[in-house]
Structure 1
Amino acid sequence: MSDQNQHTVVQSSLIWSLFVDEKGDCSDAKTTDIFTPEVTAGYHWVHLQSDTPDAWDTMKNLGLSDVICDSLSALETRPRALFQDNGVLIYLRGINYNPDSDLEDMVSLRIWFNQHHVITARRKDRKLFSVQDARNMIESGDSPTDTADFILLLIGKIASRISEVVEALDDELSAFESEGGLESSDRYALSLMRRKSAAVRRYLAPQRDALDSLFRMAKFFNQEQAFELRDLTDRMARYVEDLDLAKERAMVLQDELRNRIAEQQGMRMYVLSLVTAIFLPLSFLTGIFGMNVAGLPGTENPEAFNYLATSMLVLAIFMLAAMLWKKWL
């Protein structure tokens, strides 16, 4: 492969390549210098798009093994962490803020890192804004000085974005709970919140376990960093609990809404039953005296209609009074 073609391969898959020195100063880096010569201070951060046709060549040019290339190019991932080629491979999920996407359709981020190198990979049209947040923080001069601190920074940015969604769900549910008067139109919104909380929790539960596994890899973290990682793991566990609670709260609100709708329908049927009970004997009388046959009483009496109407009115009042006395109304 010619140098020109090789350069094209790198540029088509490479999103950015940065070097952060031991003082925290950030600069662009050539990908050919990432593993040769070996970095002794600071670290390289390379961010890739892993599903381009030439992504494999790009990763091989970075000096990555076939195992790492396969792992970073995986089509489907679930949060987990494990040792791989003298480094750590970790899959994480973050909130999807891409246009025309659902927040709960969480974006996968593939990471491999060791003492002086961090390789992150995503798929096309699946940007993770938490990664951009981390880059903005590094370029602003507030850079982690080693890879462990960088990984903690990245996990913290992902956790902050997740926190926004969890808090938004909590606020929406609190608004429904404080209203006190749920409407039939609220059923769809409550169902949507249940689905959203379930979809986010689907990845947060294994992500909590992945961070717990990462915590046990003490080789890459000092005591202070391990404490911070434990705090991030606890945050993920708390988000999982909050999502479980949000799901339960939404179910309670849905049950309350169903009961309220059933109560309203029952009240309407009750009123109709009372009206029917009042008008049933009146309908019977009108049916009898409305028959077109000879021999009906009062057909020759001009006052017969007044007598019948008065009798029906008295009967209706009597039945209404009886219902009031029985406390049916």
Structure 2
Amino acid sequence: MAKKPGQIRAILLDRKGSGREIGWPEVESWHPRQGLLWLHFDNTDEDAVDWIRDYSGLQSVVAEALLAKEIRPRTLAVDDGLFLALCGIDPKHKSRRESRVSICLWVEENRVISNGKRRLLAEEDLISRLHSGCGPRGSAALVVFLADLLVLRMGDRVDDFEEKVDELEDQLLDRAVKGMGTNLVQFRKRTIALRRYLCLQREVLTRMQQESAPWFDDGSHTLLADINERLQRHIDDIDTVRERAAIAQEELLNRTSDELNSRMYVLSVVAAVFLPLSFLTGLFGINVGGIPWAQSQQGFLAFCILLVIAVTGQIAFFYWRKWL
């Protein structure tokens, strides 16, 4: 007899849109006539790992796929069952890595086994619908419901990204550019990571549409096509966000370059003005005989007038060449 896994959630669906949580004794005595059984495990629980490997009746390739540490969205058809690895978003975590939550599912006509490290909000939404009698009526519908809720949550994250890029553009217009370069780089990295997972999710949903499991009905295929289309719109939106972030970064670089060029221009003008003055003061400052006005009482005044004339001539020359 298998030891009861410590972290497990067992739900029995009546195939009429409702479901209830059951205990481990009912799980052990379950029969397909009673309804669709959904078992969700925590893959950090050693007893759950042992049960999936030794007592679930799954093929070894499926069991190892369910227990994989590194999970990327993918799908695998084995006999009449379907393995799915899906990715969701946890809004409680804003960092790029912690916000992604993966869930693996093995789906049969009468049983669904899922496994994940952290519980998805989409799971809670699905269970809430089952308690209210508005949930899925079969294994295919359960998968479609879950995929729909995952895409819905991803849409919320895409909306967050759109608001963030709006905020960055406003900062750029207000010239509040301090630290903005780092923020833009981090933001673009997050959008790239999100887009990659959205594309992988789209590939999984597309592959699901192509699978020919006998329990996957035409209505579920149609709903999957609608979900996939919505996911594609999210990808298009995140592409737009990436382009806007790239344009904002280019504008920031151009503005920084213009400010640097302006400052260098001012310094160049100042250097050009003082270059002949420095030459004249150096020339008249040498300690040899024959320096003009060396013995004259008006020599300093005459030399200052000479410097003013030189500066005035330079400025006039700069204006004539349209350098100022």
The TM-score, its normalising length taken from structure 1, stands at 0.88
1:81 positional shift: 1.5
Does residue 157 (structure 1) correspond to residue 137 (structure 2)? The answer is no
Q: CA RMSD in A?
A: 2.4
Amino acid at match of 2:67: S
Report the count of equivalent residues.
320
TM-superposition CA deviations, 1:289-325 (whole Å, max 9, x none): 2223343222221211111111211221221122122
Tell me the equivalent position of 1:52: 45
- The offset of 1:196, in angstroms, is 0.2
Q: Please tell me whether the aligned partners of residues 97 and 103 of structure 1 are also in contact (alpha carbons under 8 angstroms).
A: no
Counterpart of 1:311 (choices 297, 306, 318) is 306
State the shift of 1:68 in Å.
Answer: 2.9
Between the aligned partners of 1:58 and 1:145, the Cα distance in structure 2 is 26
Question: How many angstroms apart in 2 are the aligned matches of 1:114 and 1:269?
Answer: 70
Taking the aligned partners of 2:95 and 2:79, their CA distance within structure 1 comes to 35
Distance 2:119 2:96 in 1: 13
| Matched residue, 1:73 | 67
Contact 2:12 2:35 in 1 (8 A): yes
The DSSP-based 3-state class of the residue aligned with 1:108 is strand
1:251-286 Cα deviation digits (max 9, x unpaired): 222122112111111111111111111111111111
Give the percent of matched residue pairs that are identical in Structure 1 and Structure 2.
30
> Normalising by structure 2, what TM-score?
0.89
Distance 1:46 1:130, change over 3 A: same
Asked if structure 2 preserves the Cα contact closer than 8 Å seen for 1:105 and 1:199, the reply is no
User: After the TM superposition, which residues 109-148 of structure 1 pair with which residues of structure 2 at under 5 Å, given as runs?
Assistant: 109-123=103-117, 126-148=118-140
Q: Which runs of no fewer than 5 residues in structure 2 stay unpaired? A: none
SS in 1 for 2:223: helix
Deviations 1:13-60 (A, max 9, x none): 42x111121333322223454475532364121110123222233224
SS at match of 2:33: coil
- The residue matched to 1:264 in structure 2 has which SS? helix
Contact (CA 8 Å) 2:122, 2:150: kept in 1 or not?
Answer: yes
Check conservation: 1:13, 1:58, Cα contact below 8 A.
Answer: no
Q: In the alignment, which residue of structure 1 is the partner of 2:193?
A: 199
Residue 225 (str. 1) matches residue 220 (str. 2): yes
Return the offset for 1:89: 0.7
Distance 1:156 1:265 in 2: 50
* Compared CA separation, residues 226 and 304, structure 1 to 2 (3 A): same
Map of 1:216 onto structure 2: 210
Q: For 1:247 and 1:99, how far apart are their aligned partners in 2?
A: 21
- Which blocks of at least 5 consecutive residues in structure 1 are unaligned? none
After superposition, the C-alpha distances for 1:236-262 in whole angstroms (9 at most, x for unaligned) are 222233333322322222122112111
Work out which of the residue numbers 149, 159, 181 in structure 2 matches 1:187.
181
